[in-house]
Structure 1
Amino acid sequence: MKRVVIIGGVAGGASAAARLRRMDESVEIVLLERGPYISFANCGLPYHISGEISAREDLLVQTPERFSKRFNVDVRIHHEAIEIDPKEHRVVVKADGQVYSLNYDKLLLSPGASAIKPNLPGMDDARVLLLRSLPDMDQIIAQLQHVTKDRPIAVLGAGFIGLEITEALHQLGYCVMLIEAGAQVMASIDPEMASPLHRTLRQHGIDLRLNSALKAVRPQTEELVLELSSGESVDVSMLICAVGVRAENQLAQQAGLVLGQGHSIQVNQHLQTSDPDIYAVGDAIEVIDWVTGQPASIPLAGPANRQGRIAADNMAGRECEYRGTQGSSICRVFDLAVASTGASEKRLKAQQIAYRKLYTHSSQHAGYYPGAQPIHLKLLFSPDNGRLLGGQAVGKDGVDKRIDVLALALQAQMSVYDLEELELCYAPPYGSAKDPLNQAGFVAVNWLEGNDELIYPEQVADYQGQILDIRNEAELQNGMLPNALHIPLDELRTRMNELNPTLPIMVYCQVGLRGHVAARMLCQSGWKVVNLTGGYRTYCDWQQSQQGEL
């Protein structure tokens, strides 16, 4: 191996270049970047707009000059690869209006993905902006200087970037209208888990428009008029598009490389494309979903960095495999954090993979220590052996810790039985003697071993039997399930005679824990009992997710 050419920097390309140099001092490395930056923190862009990251230069992870000096890499910014000739092992490059050829022994593609701007009337107006790069960020900051705060700024798309820029604009004092074509924000999680996010957004004054697709933009002198699928026309001062990204596959397609689903670049476990001398990493490639084993497009910074390292090892002759992506991610939405890892229920259904689910609402640390807040956790696992399939959590504190532990458990192919046995740090300010993940393990194992039969919120309407609410009197002020009989848990043993002995019972409490106690009591008294997992809290979240509005 004499020369390696890397097309594209940032997470995948820059990581590969640095790793390759550490593995081989003799190889010539040429890094081509069509823009001015080879390594910047694109995940930090919304936080510079808000002012939380005050200095723009803090987003520059490495300058071309520092990177070139430290790693002895021929860094060529503003050099765009416009063609690949795999047979001749040659890249055609355009720079300063000139075109030249560059031969390679190994080639790495790290072109990333581009932000999608919907092809709709009026989207070419200068007040319609994207957020994917530093220049995009600079444009938004510049445009904000001309925006008055008496008219809202619209954000189109409620994924990671949409939610982050919404919060950033709100922190700056702007009114924000968040427009989402789907029935929920954060499509990567399941609908009922998004309900707390909807509440928080609206509590902070965000004009959240769900089930609203943008149909057209009508530019006016002082504003943009947005035509929505609801039939409404709304006036806004500017529009930021955050509807997703599309893999940059033009070079790969022109070179005849095989593309996968969604037109991402297909690679093997060594991150080789269909040409063995061309590797690819980052947002442009198709990966294997760690849980389902199916091809997927999962554009995340962490996996892109690891892929760059693994591709470099393979090019250096150190055989290494990429094990797949499990999609671990987290996002802040005002005072809440939402995180997930592994498969969602939506994905498991789509792939026809058998699963069971449960919900818990345990506090992030000991309840008697001040500041205890619930973590709303959803766990998905195999009904056959309890193997973990995925998890989602929403809460004000401690969400990242639990999903990170769960992500490691998924990598280790652990089961809910292992969650029971997790030994995690405990002191009152930091956790509980029974951690929320332990609690989730207990609930799952109780189901697997027949100690507790669970029922899901979507099954409640069709349930044939008695419905028993065992909460305290004060808790009923927030509502009850239709036709439910109320007997507080502590009175249940002495009031069982009020229940019909010939009908099964669905029992529920606020979050499911007391429901298990009641279910065990009733089961041993002869009833067939199901416990509403997650209790009334999860049922309300599910109901709201079905309505699409709060």
Structure 2
Amino acid sequence: MSPRARRRTLIVGGVAGGMSAATRLRRLDESREIVVLERGDHVSFANCGLPYHVGGVIEDRDDLVLQTPESLAARFALDVRTGHEVVSVDRDRRVVTVRDRHTGRLLEEEYDELVLATGASPLRPPIPGVELAHALRDLVDMDAIIARLDGPDQPTSAVIVGAGFIGLELAENLAHRGLSVTVVELADHVLPPLDVEMAAVVQSHLQLFGVRVLTGTAAAAFEADAVVLAGGERIPAGLVVLAAGVVPESALARAAGLELSERGGVVVDERQRTSDPHIYAVGDVAVKRDAVSGEGVLVPLAQTANRHGRLVADAILGRPVSARPALGTAVVGVFGLTVAAVGWNERRLREAGRPHRVIHTHPQHHAGYYPGAEQMALKLLVDPDTDEILGAQGVGRAGVDKRIDVIATAMRGGLRASELADLELTYAPQYGSAKDPVAMLGMVADNLAAGLTRTVQWHEVDAEVARGATVVDVRTPEEYAAGALPGAVNLPVDDLRERHGELSGRLLVYCAAGQRGHVAARLLTQLGHADVVNLDGGYRTWQPPVDLLAASGREDSTLR
């Protein structure tokens, strides 16, 4: 490579990770030549906002375009070239070959450092007619969907293949536009990052708003006006959108001989450096280190891409930086419902053979006596030996994102589950509770760790009954009459001291959400009943409410 007066960094890809790297690099080094090569026609756009422009929530398309090549040149002196596709990398010469997609001309560009921020592309399974299906990854995809919706033959029905975050955001926005929407998901429930009992609330909520949800099924073929399922059912579809996941755009890295993971991600070290010391990778194309297992994992999230884009600029300039493990914190809104998660879910822990303890709670998002309190469902996953927080999930109309963010911060800081009880969080009746829902999770974790209570899970009830356990409903007679576990006897918690003699053997107690059950289990144990377990999360976990807003009753946080 010929000597140059200035060091030269080439960045392939100009959205989240690539543009974060470019702008950070400029802020740290005014003398460097920085060239961004973007295959598409836009850079630095808000791809997380695309579904909401489709639905008309974000009215102005220009609001999604955060920067342009011109604005980036003016503020950061960046050489940003859209419509320029890097087709090969010569690692020995440190040269890339670039195709100008406007003219077809090939040219070579030298680099001192090369940053791959090529992102990920929508998964397109080899299904007959797949070319008829839309995707939603960039502004071009969005424009194509809107053109179909606003065209002369406007569709009245839509099928979305995939019930992940993007799929459900699209379902909501297409329903807002008046389309009849069907969501098809191969997994056995919507939002596979959640566990089934948490996802059940989301699925019921979708159905309340008229979205048809088909789980455990696959699309077998796409036709001009329908989707054919594997079982033979034909669903009318004037619009079909694939939202079944993404795959790393790593063809360029593969051709260059860089090390890739089994799933096609570019392997990087803690400084985002690839197997070539002069080439870095960030964003959806790069492998991250998982915070729970320490293993390589693909995490296609914008916040992670931005964070690592900033980090790689520091690494190029020799600053002492190291990428932190990825927690995979994510959130989505579905017809007014907030769904958030961090870390691992229970299914993943089981598949990995990782010991874990499960905690469900159903608190109000602020003080129950203050008007407008909304119920949420929270789930915490804990290592039973170390008390390490392994993951958490939340579903509710308000306050869920706040609680999952707090737990994500606690995980990053290395707090144990029991230590959540000691967090000092803001409190006023309209914002929270004197015992915040996160602190309550910590109190439950502490009780379990100390052996003060034992719990069983919603899916273990049948096995408990088969072993001869007596199921005791400690709620009020009115609650019992409205719905109860099969075969349960009703003995309200306030009557247990006088009537506990009616009970014997192994006892499985439960209430609405677990708190009165905990009181009952402690009381019965101290009254001489040696074998008592509490149903974790109570009746609301065993049979999630169709609508969280309709769920009645409030458990007293002093009971912990």
Partner of 2:485: 481
Residue aligning to 2:70: 65
Q: Secondary structure at the match of 1:194?
A: helix
- Matches for 1:134-173 after TM superposition, within 5 Å: 134-146=139-151, 151-173=156-178
Q: TM-score, normalised by structure 2?
A: 0.94
C-alpha distance in structure 1 between counterparts of 2:385 and 2:158, whole Å: 49
| CA offsets 1:500-533 (integer angstroms, 9 cap, x no match) | 2xx1111000100000010010000111110000
The change in CA–CA distance for 1:115 and 1:518 in structure 2 (over 3 A counts) is: same
Distance 1:506 1:124 in 2: 54
Q: Please give the alpha-carbon distance, in whole angstroms, between the structure 2 residues aligned to 1:299 and 1:314.
A: 21
Task: Please name the residue that 2:382 is paired with.
Answer: 381
CA contact (8 A) 2:155 2:239 kept: no
Which residue number in structure 1 is paired with residue 514 of structure 2? 512
1:452 counterpart SS class: coil
Q: AA paired with 1:468?
A: V
Alpha-carbon distance, 1:472 to partner: 1.0
Contact 1:261/1:296, CA 8 A, preserved across alignment: no
Contact 1:292/1:351 (8 A) holds in 2: no
In 2, Cα distance between the equivalents of 1:478 and 1:144? 45
5 Å matches for 1:81-160? 81-95=86-100, 96-125=103-132, 128-146=133-151, 151-160=156-165
Deviation of 1:423 after TM superposition, in Å, equals: 0.9
Cα–Cα, structure 1 residues 457 and 542, in superposed 2: closer, same or farther, change >3 Å? farther
Q: CA deviation at 1:388?
A: 1.1
Shift in Å, 1:91? 0.4
Match of 1:546 in 2: none
Letter in 1 for 2:343: G
Cα distance in 2 for partners of 1:100, 1:141 equals 35
Shift of 1:349: 2.1
8 A Cα contact 2:163 2:191, kept in partner: yes
Shift of the alpha carbon at 1:146? Answer: 3.4
- Cα pair 2:417 2:446 within 8 Å, conserved: yes
Q: 2:45 aligns with which of 17, 31, 40?
A: 40
Aligned residues: 536
Q: Is the 8 A contact 1:361 1:534 kept in 2?
A: yes
What amino acid sits opposite 2:36 in the alignment? Answer: L
2:356 and 2:33 map into 1 onto residues whose CA distance is 50
The CA deviation string for residues 320-371 of structure 1, in whole angstroms up to 9 with x for no partner, is 1101210000000112100011111122223322211110001000000111
The residue type equivalent to 2:429 in the other structure is P
Pick one of 522, 525, 529 that aligns with 1:523. Answer: 525
Determine if contact 1:265/1:280 at 8 Å carries over to the other structure.
yes
Structure 1 CA distance for aligned equivalents of residues 511 and 271 of structure 2 = 50
1: CA distance, partners of 2:36 / 2:278: 16
- Conserved 8 A contact 1:361-1:377: yes
SS of alignment partner, residue 40 of structure 1: coil
Distance 2:232 2:82 in 1: 46
> What's the secondary structure of 2:430's corresponding residue?
coil
In the other structure, the counterpart of 1:548 is none
Query: What secondary structure sits across from 1:516 in the alignment?
Result: helix
Q: Tell me if the contact between 1:453 and 1:529 (Cα under 8 Å) persists in the aligned partners.
A: yes
Q: Which runs of 5+ in 1 are unaligned?
A: 544-550
Give 4+ residue runs of structure 1 displaced > 6 Å after superposition: 147-150
What's the offset of the Cα at 1:259? 0.1
**CA distances 1:434-472 after superposition (whole Å, capped 9, x unpaired):** 000111111111011011101111211111221101111
**What is the CA–CA distance in structure 1 between the aligned matches of 2:150 and 2:62, rounded to whole Å?**
20
In the other structure, the counterpart of 1:491 is 495
What is the letter of the counterpart of residue 504 of structure 1?
R
**Structure 1-normalised TM-score?**
0.95
8 A Cα contact 1:335 1:396, kept in partner: yes
Tell whether 2:34 aligns with 1:29: yes
- Report SS of the residue matched to 1:262: coil
Counterparts of 1:341 and 1:359, CA distance in 2:
15
SS of match in other structure, 1:308: helix
> Aligned equivalents of 1:368 and 1:255: distance in 2?
63
Letter in 2 for 1:304: A
Say yes or no: does 1:444 pair with 2:448.
no
Query: Is 2:227 the partner of 1:196?
Result: no
